[in-house]
Structure 1
Amino acid sequence: MRLYLLFTLPILMFLGGCSTTSAVVTDYNPRANFSSYERYAISDTSGAAQAISPFIVENVKDSLQRQLKAGLYTPADKTENTDFLVRYYIAEAAETVDRSPRLNLGFGSFGGNFGIGTSVGVPLGKDKINRNIQIIIDLLEPADKKLSWRGSLVIELNDKDPKVNANTIERAVTEIWQQFPPQ
């Protein structure tokens, strides 16, 4: 049994560390009446940090509008006819470093209850810095522009393929929107 735990724990820790997607984070006003939400307008305060590509911003906006339409929400013809405002914001998130594969050489000796070990890691390539963004979607009350619901998710962008980014953004916005309305 001890041997089983000795191998299982490191494997579970390794698999947990391999996760590349963060979880959706949500918060909401428990007094908000989400069942009355039918017509929306995109808030004019939506946007992104200066360093975010306009193509990324457009992908988020388009994905969000598809999710709203799929949820049977309709755009309001006039601002005063809205049940809720939708605001999105894209911010830069902390970059992560994807370490290149390494070749490890280990030496050790075991005798009785004493052991000595050493390992040397030799990089086989260059480290890759992953660019991450955080997508934040807010729902606001139209009268006072107070926040009623927020969902956010950090995703990793691909520096080489805009189509991959568009698909990643679509999945992220869908994942955020699946958390609305709160249970």
Structure 2
Amino acid sequence: MTRLVLIVLSTLLLASCASTPTVHTDADPSANFSAYRTYTWLNKPDQNGVPPLAAQRIVEYVNAQLNAKGWRETPEGDVAVVAHVATQQQQSLDTMYSGPMYGGWGWGPGWYGGMGMGSATTRVRTYTVGTLVVDLFDTKTKQAIWRGTASDTVPDDPAKGDALLRAGIAEMFEGFPPGNVPAK
């Protein structure tokens, strides 16, 4: 019995860790990504009202992904990086029903039956959905060459939020630079 409980708990724990944001990428098919090797930040997320620690993490994680692809940050890069964060309050309705309550049917001194009325309770749940958008622009042509977006529910726990942010940016740059991997 104890083993079964441990298996169920570990499965639930792994399932909760597997949650990643919804990620989409898009790229200009005419952009020659093999010509790009340097980048510069044109607009960091801290300029958009994002909390300072979250903004630092976004810059750190995007830099790590670009550096892993062989790109390096310079004051006058081939590509300009722009990051924006948007949040939106959303609501869901959860309704619980407690009925209907049926009485018994049967045979006895007389045939009888009954029915009671059930009730419904609706709870409104308000939550925040956050979206990170990272755009890359060719600094010479001033044209957009790539966009990645990651969206998910913003958790109350900063550690969970950091894990979602890290996972979303990692997935965003998984097939970067475009060419061999189709856009998601």
Query: TM over 0.5: same fold?
Result: yes
What percent of counterpart residues are identical? 21
Matches of 1:120 and 1:51 in 2, distance apart?
A: 45
- Could you tell me whether the CA contact under 8 Å between 2:21 and 2:164 is conserved in 1? no
- Matched to 2:137, the amino acid is L
Give the superposed CA RMSD.
2.8
Q: Secondary structure at the match of 2:142?
A: coil
**Other-structure match for 1:10:** none
Matches of 2:151 and 2:47 in 1, distance apart?
A: 14
- Matched to 2:133, the amino acid is I
Cα drift, residue 42 of structure 1: 1.4
TM-score by length of 1: 0.67
Q: Secondary structure at the match of 1:169?
A: helix
Instruction: Identify unmatched segments of 5+ residues in structure 1.
Output: 1-19, 109-117
Relative distance call for 1:156 and 1:49 in structure 2 (3 A) is farther
Matches of 1:107 and 1:69 in 2, distance apart?
A: 64
- Could you tell me whether the CA contact under 8 Å between 2:91 and 2:124 is conserved in 1? yes
TM-score by length of 2: 0.66
**Other-structure match for 1:85:** 80
Among candidates 49, 56, 59, match of residue 57 of structure 2: 59
**Aligned pairs for 1:5-154 within 5 A:** 23-43=22-42, 45-47=43-45, 52-76=50-74, 78-79=75-76, 82-92=77-87, 94-100=88-94, 102-106=96-100, 120-123=119-122, 127-154=124-151
**Aligned pairs for 1:153-172 within 5 A:** 153-159=150-156, 161-172=157-168
Cα drift, residue 162 of structure 1: 1.2
Instruction: Identify unmatched segments of 5+ residues in structure 2.
Output: 1-18, 103-116
